[in-house]
Each structure stands twice: as C-alpha cells, then as structure tokens.
Structure 1
Amino acid sequence: MNYLPIFLDLKKKNILVVGAGEIAFNKIKLLLRSGAIVNIISKDICSEIKELLNKKKVFWISHTFSSTYIHKMFLVIAATNNIKLNKRVFQICNKFYKLVNVVDDQSKCSFIFPSIIDRSPIVLAVSSGGTAPVLLRLLREKVESILPLRLGDVAKIAGNWRPIIKKKFDNVLERRRFWEKLFNSIFVQYVISRQTKKAIDFLMKMIDEPNILRGEIILVGAGPGNGSLLTLRGLQVLQEADIVLYDNLVSLEILDLIRRDAKCICVGKSAGIKNITQDEIIKLLISLAKKGKKVVRLKGGDPFIFGRGGEELEAAKNAGIDVQVVPGITSAIGIAAYTGIPLTHREYAQGVIFITGHKCKNSILNNWSILSDSSYTLVIYMGSLQALNISQKLIFHGRSKSTPIAVISKGTMIKQKVFIGRLDELDKVVKFAINPSLLIIGKVVLLHKKLEWFNTFNELNKIKHTSSIVNLI
C-alpha cells in the first residue's frame, strides 16, 4: 500500500492554493465542498475563480508566494505552470511539516487526491496511486452506476435514529442485526424514492418489534477457487457472517473476502487424515446458530453438488433453525470453462453426467452401462484414488480405450494445469496432477487445444520420454 487512505476534516480550516488557473479551480471546488477556507496566491486569476472571489467564497492574499504564508495553513496545493515555483512550494512545506500536493507531479506530493464517489455522508475514495488514472475513471463509473443517488439520505436518517436504537438495544449484536435487517428491507427503497414518511414509519415499527436474536445457517458455494467467480450474493453473506465454517477447497482469495471480525473455523476433510466428522460439523453448525450467530457454511463449488449441503440443510431444518442457500459455480462447470472444454457439444456430447469417484469402487453404486455411453461427457469429482478402477469399469462396459480424458488440477486458478490422455492410461495420467483434481472423460476433451483461453498449458507437453501417455490433441 503506497498511500494510507484517510478522510480529513477540513471544515473551517485554512487551505493555501498557489495558482489560480483551471486546474486550481477544479481543486478549489472540491475544497469548498468539504467546508475549507480557501486562500489563493497568484498573479493571474481565471474568470471562474474571479467569480468565487466576488462572491467571497475564496480569499486572495498575494501575487507572489512566500514561506510566511504557510504557517497558518492546514495543507497546501501548488497548481501552477512554473516548475521552479512548484518545487519551491514543495520544499518549504516539507521543511515546516505541512501536507502538500503539487498537481500533476506525484514525486512532489505528501498526499494525493483520490477519485471520489460522493453520496454524503457516504463517501467512497478510490486511488491507483497515480499509476492508472484511466482505469480508475472506468472503475469509478462502474461504482457510481450501482450506488443510488439518494443513498446518503439513508445514512442520514440512520444517523439521526442511532441514539434511540442504542437505548432500545443495549447488546451490540442485537443492534447490528437490527441495522442489517433494516438496510435489507423496503426501508431503503422508501428513502431512495423520496417516501421519507413511509420510511420513518417502517423504521419505528421495526423498533417496536421484539428483536430476539435468531441464529441462522447459510450454505454458501464458494465456486471452483478463483475469487472472481464468487457470486455477488455470496460476497454479501460473507460480509455479514459472525462465524464461517469452511472447507479445505476454499481458496485464500475467497477467505480474504470474509468480514474481518468474523470467526473462521476450518472443518475440511482430507483423504488419509483423521478429520472432523460430518456429524460433528452438523452439531457445531446447530450449536452456534442456537447461540444467535449468523453461521456461514462455506463450501468449494456448489453446496448441493457433492457438498453434503442437503444433509446439513436437513439437519438445520429439523432443529428449527432458519436457513438460506447461496448457490456457487460448481467445480465441474467452472473448471471446464477455464480449460476450454465444453461439457456438451452438438457434435461430441448430447449430455453430461456428474459423479463422485471415491465410491466408484463398489459397482452397485453406479450404473456403469449408462456411464459408459460415449454420447455423454462424464465428469468425476474426487476420482484420482480410484482412477484405475474407473477406467477398467468404463472400458469393460463399452467405453473405447482411446476415449479422450483430461485431468485438471488447481482449476480456474493461476496455477491451473491440464493433463490430456486416453482412458486406458487414466491411472498414469492422474499421477502427474496435484490433488484435488477433476476428471473429464469424453470426446469434448478434443476441443481443449482449440478452445483454451485461460493462462494454462498442457503439462504433458513438458514431459519427455513418456510414450505411455498419449496426447490426443
């Protein structure tokens, strides 16, 4: 972080602006909006600043700059075309420990102006540290577009009622739940649509309602790993959570998005290691929710695709606990997209089947005749340990030995690796991949080389003298 973002209270504070041209005028407008007392030093004054002088909104104090003028100033802005003068202003301000900004010269700034999104009293400041102003402008436009213009009025009303709410609910957690409930209600829409009376009536009704702490359990799908693939609703829930129980497959990118003061507990499972059992996870979820906590169960992919989300949801329902489910991009869909392998294609596959590999050893659990139909793409989660058994069963029931297969590790992540081979070599191919990995079996794998777009590469192309592995594409 090159700059510490802070918000300064400039109300009734003396600010010195050296220069009175168009650039200086833009800074002066911003300073006046913050309630600053603007003092100007300049020989030449543009028409816009002359108008401000005539209206006594700013004050002209001298034609020429002198160090004596900065002593009573809170901060200084140099906005002239005179490079030597700007440098002199910068050096003197540093000598007397004054904040200074030399416009368009980042090397001579002890502070910089961010890009501001003003919904007062809500103010967002965004900066690229001077590195990418055009990118910053585009980002600001996107943020501006999603923030209602009257959002500040919501904050103003909340601020006015804050002392009353504090008296009504002496528990911090109760107060936070009240505000979360209010801001997620129609109250906000009433304010934005200028129906202030309705908004106040709604707020008063909510105050009078009993605000019993009711815990809840929210199942959230974190997606296949890449942080940008988390859903907007998933992000919102992570920012509201009191406690997050997460799996090993949830990436650090996603974990970094959790509310800072939320408690995070890893309940992941790994093969061959003594782990917390599913029953223990369910008991922990219910216990925490009964204490009035908003508990998020964060899972890789989607909670209802081999995530045991159904079991956890059922247990919560049986315990009388409020529940929500936030779907995630399941790993099969996300990873296939990031490898350029379409799971269905008119010329290659008329459908797709998802199965889990860790139970494939018992043939009773799978209809291998259906799984061996070459007109379907087969996607296998957690299939590496049973790779040999899977390939043997599929070949025995009719899949061709030369059926293309892909084994993908670290899918959708910057270290994603794709290994291509054929079905009768599946047990050898998986040895090159780091677990956990995803297996895709079917003709659609042939499209990988042509359609790949993410920053990946086929690891088997790097492996020399491995004739038993056949790269079909």
Structure 2
Amino acid sequence: MGELKTFPVSYKVEGKRIVIVGGGDEALNKARLAIKTTASVVIIAAHMEIDFSELPVTVLERPFEPDDLIGAALVFVADEGPDGEAAKLAARSRGIPLNVVDVPHECDFYTPSIIDRAPISIAIASEGDAPVLARLIRARIEAVLSPHVGALAALAGAMRDKVAAVLEGAAARRYYEELVTSPEVEAALIRGQGAEKAEAVLAQHASLGKAPGVVWLIGAGPGSEDLLTLRAQRLLQEADVIVHDQLVPTAVVDMGRRDAERILVGKQKGHHSFTQAEINALLVRLGGEGKRVARLKSGDPMIFGRAGEELEALRGAGIAYQIVPGITAALAAASDTATPVTLRKVSTGFVLATAHGANSEELKHWAALASAGLTLALYMGKSVAAPTAARLIGEGASPLIPVGVVIRAGRKTRKLYRGTLGSLASGQVELDDGPAIIFVGNSIAHGDWEAAVNLAVQEFRVA
C-alpha cells in the first residue's frame, strides 16, 4: 500500500472568502463547487467569458489586485495570464492555500470529487493523478448511500448533549450506531418524527445500564487485507479494543475504528511478549469491563490458533463470544499455486497438521496418508522441514512424492519452492523467511509451480 502525499482534511471556510481568479469554464466549475459551502465566493477576471449571474457569487470584472485576498481562506487560479501569475504570487506570500487549475505541481491542495449530504461530506481525491477515476468512485458510493444520511447526521448532532448526560464511552457509541443504522429511526425521520424516535431509543439504552462485553475471535486471513470477510470488516468497525497477533498485517488492524485501543500480543517462534495464559486473562478482563473485543488471529482462528484455550477461559468467566472464520494459510497457498489439494483419482482427502514437535506415531500416520494418496499441508515446519521429510521417508513414504512449499501464502511477496520429498530431505535449498506451508502429495504435480525455485536438481513434472 502506497503512502499519501496529501493529508485529507475538512477545511473551515465559514465567514471567509473563496477567491477564484479567471472568467472561463474552469472558473465556473470551481465556483459550482465553492458555492456548496457557507463561504463568500468571489470571481475576479479582467474579461468574463461566462455568465455567472445564476450563481450566488460576487463578480468583479477587473484586473486582480493583491488586496482581493484579504479574508480569503482558499484561492483558485484559472487564468494563465498576468492576473493568474499575480494571484499565485499574492497567495503564496500570504500563506493562503492555492489551487492552480490543471497544474498539479503548483497546487497546495486538490479539489476532490465530493458527495454532499450536509453535514456529511465524502471526498474522493487522487492527488491530481486520476480525477476521472475519483468521479467514478463517487458515483458508486452515491448509488449505495441513503438520501437521508445528512438528516441522520444532523439528528445525531442534535442529540449530543442529551446522550452525554446519560451515556458515556462504549455505551454512547452503541447508541449512536443504532441511531444511524436503524431503519425504524430513518422511517421516523421521513415522517417528521425523528427527534421523538431518537429520544425513545436513548431512553431504552439508558435503561440497560452497563452493556455486557463480547469477544469476537476473528480470522484475519493469510496476510492480504482483501481476503478478510465482510463480517470481519463490520465487527472491526464496532470493536472498542483490537487484540492482534504478530502476523496480522497493519492494513487489517487499520480497518478498525481509529479510536479503538490496539494491543499487540505478538507471539513469535522463540519470543512470546504475552504468554497464552496472559492473553486469556486479558480477553476475560476486557470482556468483563463491557468492552467489545476483536481478537484478530492470522488465518482461521480455529486452525492452529490456540482458540480452544481462549474459548475455555471465556466460557469459564461467562463472557460472550463469537467466532468469525478466516482463510487459513493452506487454502491461500493452494490458491496461490492453483493446486487442487483434492483431485479425482489422485487425492481423496486433505490433511492439515503441524510439523513442529511431531512425534514418531504422527509421522508414521502422515507417511501412510501421503502414500495412500492424500495431500498433507504441514504448518510451522520450515525450521524442521528437512529432518521431517527424512523421517517421513524413514516411515515408508516414497522419496519421489511431490512436494511444494509456499512462504508467505496469500501475499504479494510469496515465495514458492518445488521438488520431491527426497529433495526436501536433502536440505540443499535454504527457505526464505516467513510463515510456510509445506504440501506433500501427488496432487502437487497438478498445480502451477512454474515460478517455483527447485528444492534440488531433481524435479517433478508439472502437469
């Protein structure tokens, strides 16, 4: 994800002037945008090519003068002649934000494509690079927004003092969330009874007292934010606290509310900033305080995420919980390589297992499964990949069984390796940094591993 070169803000212009220098079509376009605000709009040009009489603006048909910028909040220059140059110089000398139409490198700010539902405004900006794209995005958002969004926002603002007198913190947020999302409130607003309905909802929330907490165990997927489920996105926006693992990318955490508390419980191999017992106690404490907690886990929370221990602690403390599934790394790795982990006449099943700490009985069982045609997906086995492969061979698995390794599955930075169980056991290739999925089975030969690094000189055929 790239970094913004501009900082998006809403800029106060009430009681000030917006000065537009120019008398042509571009000046008219900026004037139509500026009159949506409460600022006084002034248009200055020695010669007016356009009739501005239908707009609530002041027209000065004369050359620009530096004193025209007294009390100005913003300046638009849509004149390529001497008046435009004088206006640019005057604006810069006074420190007034300047927009030079169609000259991005001279602009202090850009005019976004705006959705106006006063007091709600949504601005889509492209830093001057793609205004047509910004306009198309605006049209898509307009299509899904209720025409009553602005009225709902005004109703919420009118209730602010009354809400503050009876609710605080999370309880107040929950009231506002219901107020602005409830179809009943919107229907009452349309009938002219919005204020009465808003007060009735407030009385209901005030009578509930302290709301009970809840912990959502959310699968954050393998690392790409666009693989998050819609439910996960919604709950992240509702969470008061986000408790997340080390492998959960910042882009996913940032989908939460900006004012939500964020707690990194970063467990990594060989370094645990929080023990599992401490994480359990943290979730119980936060839920007991009435917080809505998003417990973000990499992949799927129920697959090698120690969710069972956290659920047991929550149940024991009587804390409500909900599980939101996510895409586990093995499924992302299969998609990355177009590998059909179950395939007619090749693989009748798919087994997920962790190679870290596997004992002899487990290895013997895996070897039998791989030999029988099932596909193995081994998690947490990169550091013991070669000895694990050797032990599988020792338990009877063929050294010629195809193997594929995906590092950082589901991410743009993924790295692929291919070979056989024997070539993996040889340890000739050092695997890249990052979480790994090791596939073992005949179905691997039917995936797309053309971009993969060979684990050894010996290769298996890609069908």
- State the TM-score, normalizing by the size of structure 1: 0.84
Give the match for residue 340 of structure 1: 338
Aligned length: 457
Moved more, 18-27 or 204-213: 204-213
Deviation of the 1:301 alpha carbon: 0.1
CA distance in structure 1 between the partners assigned to 2:92 and 2:339 by the alignment: 59
Deviation of the 1:242 alpha carbon: 3.1
Cα distance change on mapping 1:111 and 1:43 into 2, 3 Å: same
CA distance in structure 2 between the partners assigned to 1:127 and 1:25 by the alignment: 20
Give the match for residue 5 of structure 1: 8
Give the match for residue 135 of structure 1: 133
Give the match for residue 458 of structure 1: 452
Aligned residue among 276, 289, 298 for 1:300? 298
Matches within 5 A, 1:49-448: 49-52=52-55, 57-80=56-79, 82-169=80-167, 171-183=168-180, 185-187=182-184, 190=187, 196-197=193-194, 199-200=197-198, 203-273=201-271, 276-346=274-344, 348-363=346-361, 367-368=365-366, 371-372=369-370, 374-387=372-385, 390-391=388-389, 394-395=392-393, 399-427=397-425, 428=427, 431-448=430-447
CA distance in structure 2 between the partners assigned to 1:440 and 1:189 by the alignment: 53
Give the match for residue 33 of structure 1: 36
Check the 8 A contact 2:366/2:376 in 1, yes or no: no
Letter in 2 for 1:437: A
Check the 8 A contact 1:421/1:429 in 2, yes or no: no
CA distance in structure 2 between the partners assigned to 1:335 and 1:388 by the alignment: 20
Give the match for residue 15 of structure 1: 18
CA distance in structure 2 between the partners assigned to 1:181 and 1:51 by the alignment: 42
Cα distance change on mapping 1:368 and 1:107 into 2, 3 Å: closer
Deviation of the 1:158 alpha carbon: 0.9
Deviation of the 1:286 alpha carbon: 0.7
CA distance in structure 2 between the partners assigned to 1:294 and 1:230 by the alignment: 19
- Cα deviation, 1:212-264, whole Å, max 9, x if unaligned, reads 14222111111101223223332333343333332232223333444444443
Structure 1 alignment gaps of length 5 or more: none
CA distance in structure 2 between the partners assigned to 1:121 and 1:192 by the alignment: 16
Check the 8 A contact 1:422/1:472 in 2, yes or no: no
What SS is found at the alignment partner of 1:298? Answer: strand
Deviation of the 1:43 alpha carbon: 4.8
Check the 8 A contact 2:47/2:61 in 1, yes or no: no
CA distance in structure 2 between the partners assigned to 1:404 and 1:410 by the alignment: 20
CA distance in structure 2 between the partners assigned to 1:347 and 1:365 by the alignment: 24
Letter in 2 for 1:460: N
Deviation of the 1:410 alpha carbon: 1.8
Cα distance change on mapping 1:196 and 1:377 into 2, 3 Å: farther
What SS is found at the alignment partner of 2:399? Answer: coil
Indicate the percent of aligned positions where both proteins have the same amino acid: 34
Letter in 2 for 1:341: T
CA distance in structure 2 between the partners assigned to 1:87 and 1:345 by the alignment: 70
Deviation of the 1:372 alpha carbon: 2.4
Letter in 1 for 2:350: V
Check the 8 A contact 2:66/2:86 in 1, yes or no: no
Structure 2 alignment gaps of length 5 or more: none
CA distance in structure 2 between the partners assigned to 1:242 and 1:337 by the alignment: 34
- Cα deviation, 1:189-214, whole Å, max 9, x if unaligned, reads 54687685584365244344223142
Give the match for residue 470 of structure 1: 459
Cα distance change on mapping 1:37 and 1:434 into 2, 3 Å: closer
CA distance in structure 2 between the partners assigned to 1:193 and 1:440 by the alignment: 58
Cα distance change on mapping 1:387 and 1:19 into 2, 3 Å: closer
Deviation of the 1:395 alpha carbon: 4.6
Deviation of the 1:120 alpha carbon: 1.8
Deviation of the 1:418 alpha carbon: 0.7
- State the TM-score, normalizing by the size of structure 2: 0.86
Deviation of the 1:406 alpha carbon: 0.9
Moved more, 43-52 or 307-316: 43-52
Check the 8 A contact 2:406/2:437 in 1, yes or no: yes
Moved more, 394-403 or 70-79: 394-403
Cα distance change on mapping 1:212 and 1:389 into 2, 3 Å: same
Cα distance change on mapping 1:264 and 1:68 into 2, 3 Å: closer
CA distance in structure 2 between the partners assigned to 1:458 and 1:419 by the alignment: 5
- Cα deviation, 1:44-91, whole Å, max 9, x if unaligned, reads 545652333xxxx222222332334333433322223x3443223211
CA distance in structure 2 between the partners assigned to 1:195 and 1:366 by the alignment: 73
- Cα deviation, 1:295-320, whole Å, max 9, x if unaligned, reads 22211001112212233224312321
CA distance in structure 1 between the partners assigned to 2:217 and 2:189 by the alignment: 31
- Cα deviation, 1:331-375, whole Å, max 9, x if unaligned, reads 111222123323334464343222222353241698447622554
Check the 8 A contact 1:361/1:389 in 2, yes or no: no
